[in-house]
């Protein structure tokens, strides 16, 4: 099964290592992002910008091929997955059957929206079970439900190592059809402020696509201590080139407080290198990244609670908020975690199975005592110039070049698939 999907991705021009499917430590962020865009486009999760109608048609034709390959892998986990409904009228999220088959894990912030309405768990065969709220794991934003009658098939958690960077994962849904798929783009880390690294810069992508331009520097921050200044262009971190703000943020997300980093930057055309120790994000206010937030929301609605998790893997799956809470599997069908949140345009979080097992050994907080997190307010997408990100000429030129490359790649994919059908 994995080999079939590997071959399909190779047709797309994505070179994979021969020894371990989609798992390589030196896979750079550009390759991972490109793969995510191609997969998301094939799945029909969202249309690519400036895409031609014939290209959309091609991707729609090929989506059947991908689903035929992945669907058998998701079938077993689908039997342990349910939709969570409130009062039989509103779908809240997805649930994962655990324990003896009478318990279900679901996303607490979505369950809290039910406002006391009766909860139902609906399985793949449309079998409906009334459920009660047994408790809440607040840090993980996970609710523990109990079926009033009947049992379902519980998941079997994968043992061994957690999915490596670049590993291909599938979000199972109730039944045979997966809800999403993608690769691990950032290895396991904590999203609690006390565990997150802090640099102290507000920045934006440089116009020519090389580095990020510093717009603000926080007082008494590592960046200020290192002598960085507004207008400096950060080019690389620990030798890894930075192409834009998203990549810069992703690099920092993998770092920890007290970790030493080397930063190459340009100031008035002269390149310099500084080294400094990262601080903890706790107690430091972050600079608002309005443009980035708008872009993150352009792919659709994101989860209201999408931060603060003690341990998550980051993937480039594209899910809807109500599709979170279900099991995540690898290409061998092993359940490696549950989806925690959709945090951006192509950014979703997965709680690893080992962390879920550990969590279940703890006693949850009583539902009436659990805090209900207030969804983080974000910029509203509108048609005003003040909100919509604007593209300058270099941005448009890069986009046109990328679309030409995509067009060439799509034609190559079409020729390969037509060749298989001869």
Query: Are 55 and 152 found together in one domain?
Result: yes
- pLDDT of 88: 84
pLDDT confidence of 63, banded at 50, 70, 90? low
| Cα 404 to Cα 328: distance, rounded to the nearest angstrom | 34
Q: Are 232 and 267 in contact (CB under 8 A)?
A: yes
The DSSP 8-state label assigned to residue 54 in this structure reads H
The domain boundary residue, chosen from 225, 247, 280: 280
| Cα 25 to Cα 143: distance, rounded to the nearest angstrom | 34
Over residues 367-422, the pLDDT tens digits come to: 888 877 665 555 444 444 333 344 444 555 666 666 667 666 766 666 665 555 55
* Residue 157 or residue 244, greater confidence: 157
Half-sphere exposure of 105 (CA within 13 A, CB side): 27
- pLDDT of 334: 94
Query: Are 92 and 5 found together in one domain?
Result: yes
Over residues 132-172, the pLDDT tens digits come to: 999 999 999 999 999 999 999 999 999 888 999 999 899 99
The tokens of 314 are what?
């980051």
| Cα 196 to Cα 256: distance, rounded to the nearest angstrom | 6
- Residue 352 in any domain: the answer is yes
- Residue 157 in any domain: the answer is yes
Q: How many CB atoms lie within 10 A of CB 183?
A: 23
- Residue 301 in any domain: the answer is no
Q: How many CB atoms lie within 10 A of CB 336?
A: 26
Query: Are 151 and 46 found together in one domain?
Result: yes
| Cα 143 to Cα 141: distance, rounded to the nearest angstrom | 7
- Residue 306 in any domain: the answer is no
Looking at the predicted structure, is the pLDDT value of residue 37 above 50? no
Looking at the predicted structure, is the pLDDT value of residue 112 above 50? yes
Q: Which domain holds residue 154?
A: 1-189+327-422
- Residue 307 in any domain: the answer is no
Looking at the predicted structure, is the pLDDT value of residue 39 above 60? no
- Residue 300 in any domain: the answer is no
Q: Which of 32-36, 114-118, 256-260 has the highest mean pLDDT?
A: 256-260
Query: Are 48 and 139 found together in one domain?
Result: yes
Over residues 275-289, the pLDDT tens digits come to: 999 999 887 766 655
What pTM value is reported for the model? 0.71
The tokens of 330 are what?
């690898």
Looking at the predicted structure, is the pLDDT value of residue 260 above 70? yes
Query: Are 28 and 145 found together in one domain?
Result: yes
Half-sphere exposure of 362 (CA within 13 A, CB side): 16
**CATH number, residue 393:** 2.40.10.120
What SS3 state is found at 66?
helix
Over residues 310-356, the pLDDT tens digits come to: 999 999 998 999 999 999 999 889 999 999 999 888 889 999 999 99
Looking at the predicted structure, is the pLDDT value of residue 38 above 70? no
Lowest mean pLDDT among 10-24, 74-88, 126-140, 251-265: 10-24
- pLDDT of 81: 96
Report the candidate in 245, 163, 145 with the shortest Cα–Cα distance to residue 202: 245
Query: Are 208 and 342 found together in one domain?
Result: no
Q: Which helix (H) or strand (E) holds 399?
A: helix 393-420
Looking at the predicted structure, is the pLDDT value of residue 296 above 70? no
Query: Are 23 and 161 found together in one domain?
Result: yes
- Residue 319 in any domain: the answer is no
Query: Are 110 and 7 found together in one domain?
Result: yes
Query: Are 225 and 175 found together in one domain?
Result: no
Query: Are 12 and 82 found together in one domain?
Result: yes
Lowest mean pLDDT among 41-55, 80-94, 111-125: 41-55
- Residue 316 in any domain: the answer is no
Instruction: Please count the structural domains in the chain.
Output: 2
The domain boundary residue, chosen from 248, 280, 312: 280
Report the candidate in 116, 73, 58 with the shortest Cα–Cα distance to residue 368: 116
Looking at the predicted structure, is the pLDDT value of residue 255 above 60? yes
Query: Are 212 and 334 found together in one domain?
Result: no
Query: Are 202 and 183 found together in one domain?
Result: no
**CATH number, residue 238:** 2.30.42.10
């Amino acid at each position: 099964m994995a080999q079939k999907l590997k071959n399909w991705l190779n047709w797309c021009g994505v070179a994979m290592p021969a020894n371990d499917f989609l798992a390589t430590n030196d896979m750079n962020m550009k390759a991972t992002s490109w793969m995510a865009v191609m997969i998301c486009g094939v799945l029909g999760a969202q249309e690519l910008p400036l895409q031609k109608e014939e290209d959309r048609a091609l991707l729609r034709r090929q989506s059947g091929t991908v689903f035929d390959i992945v669907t058998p892998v998701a079938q077993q986990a689908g039997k342990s997955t349910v939709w969570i409904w409130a009062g039989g009228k509103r779908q809240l999220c997805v649930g994962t059957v655990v324990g003896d088959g009478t318990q279900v894990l679901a996303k607490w912030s979505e369950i809290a929206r039910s406002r006391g309405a009766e909860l139902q768990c609906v399985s793949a065969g449309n079998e409906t079970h009334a459920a009660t709220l047994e408790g809440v794991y607040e840090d993980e934003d996970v609710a523990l439900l109990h079926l009033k009658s009947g049992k379902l098939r519980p998941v079997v958690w994968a043992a061994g190592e957690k999915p490596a960077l670049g590993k291909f994962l599938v979000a199972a849904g109730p039944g045979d059809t997966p809800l999403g798929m993608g690769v691990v783009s950032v290895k396991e880390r904590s999203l609690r402020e006390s565990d997150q690294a802090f640099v102290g810069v507000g920045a934006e992508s440089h116009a020519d696509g090389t580095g990020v331009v510093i717009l603000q520097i926080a007082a008494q921050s590592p960046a200020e201590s290192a002598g960085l200044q507004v207008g400096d262009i950060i080019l690389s971190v620990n030798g890894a080139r930075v192409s834009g703000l998203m990549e810069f943020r992703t690099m920092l997300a993998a770092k920890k407080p007290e970790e030493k980093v080397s930063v190459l930057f340009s100031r008035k055309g002269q390149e310099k290198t500084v080294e400094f120790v990262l601080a903890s994000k706790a107690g430091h206010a972050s600079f608002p990244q309005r443009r980035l937030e708008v872009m993150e929301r352009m792919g659709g609605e994101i989860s209201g609670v999408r931060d603060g998790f003690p341990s998550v893997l980051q993937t480039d799956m594209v899910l809807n908020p109500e599709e979170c809470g279900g099991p995540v599997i690898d290409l061998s069908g092993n359940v490696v975690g549950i989806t925690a949140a959709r945090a951006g345009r192509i950014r979703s979080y997965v709680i690893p199975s080992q962390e879920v097992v550990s969590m279940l050994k703890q006693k949850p907080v009583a539902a009436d005592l659990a805090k209900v997190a207030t969804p983080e307010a974000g910029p509203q997408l509108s048609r005003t110039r003040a909100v919509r990100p604007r593209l300058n000429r270099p941005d448009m030129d890069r986009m046109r070049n990328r679309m030409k490359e995509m067009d060439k790649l799509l034609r190559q994919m079409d020729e390969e698939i037509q060749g298989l059908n001869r």
